[in-house]
A and B are shown apart, each in its own frame.
Chain A
Amino acid sequence: QVQLQESGPGLVKPSETLSLTCAVSGYSISSGYYWGWIRQPPGKGLEWIGSIYHSGSTYYNPSLKSRVTISVDTSKNQFSLKLSSVTAADTAVYYCADGSGSKGGWFDPWGQGTLVTVSS
């Protein structure tokens, strides 16, 4: 059974880079189709941040593309998110998820989420 766990700093200063890692257990990350990051600001809806495919290809939300990097570390069975030049608007619960399917696709399972607050 695949399990995902996000980790990283819970507090990031404005203008700095947010860095999170998603550890995958119960499954080789190399066998996955794609892996994704999704966030949810407090009291608001879900926002897709980006995905990385088994081929290494990445897709990013156009509204975040200039600031986002997603990478995979197969040796550690984990993938990572970097979001640069953060502001208070980046305060959110960040989720990582296992992606499947090509005609639409879906995310399952999800990690429990980690709250990242941007504040000085």
Chain B
Amino acid sequence: SSELTQDPAVSVALGQTVRITCQGDSLRSYYASWYQQKPGQAPVLVIYGKNNRPSGIPDRFSGSSSGNTASLTITGAQAEDEADYYCNSRDSSGNHLFGGGTKLTVL
């Protein structure tokens, strides 16, 4: 099916590691990209392709994929990482898909 599924909310203790996942059949064939969105701001790309970070994105952000699941890992989460995170990919028809988003709370 053409859907991407994310957990609605995840929490992490300051300085610890957190993994945010995205599931969907299209991920068996296509990479996911990941976006961070803070309140009142436009989304910002944090991971794209196999595991690439745009310029300016800290190296504590990394991406991985296995089967139908893509993951965004934040190693050593900081207070400023508290945000909504969305995955995005494509289906076989060329249409883009977004996951429902994961709200990350840094405790």
Contacts and interface: CB of A to CB of B under 8 A. Distances in A.
Interface stretch (A9-17, A24-32, A66-74, A99-107): A99-107
Interface string A51-63: 1000000011110
A contacts with B: majority SS:
strand
Interface in B48-107: 48-49, 54, 86, 88-90, 93-101
A108 interface: yes
A104 B98 CA distance: 11
B32 interface: yes
Contact of B48 (A51, A108, A110): A108
B96 A48 contact: yes
B12 interface: no
Contacts of A110: 42-44
Contacts, number: 73
Given A104-B33, A108-B54, A45 B48 contact: no
Interface string A38-53: 1000000111100100
Given A103-B30, A104-B32, A107-B88, A47 B42 contact: no
Contact of B31 (A36, A47, A61, A103): A103
Given A95-B43, A105-B90, A107-B45, A46 B32 contact: no
B42 A95 contact: yes
Contacts of B45: 106-109
Nearest to B96: A48
A103 B91 CA distance: 10
Contacts of A100: 48
A104 B49 contact: yes
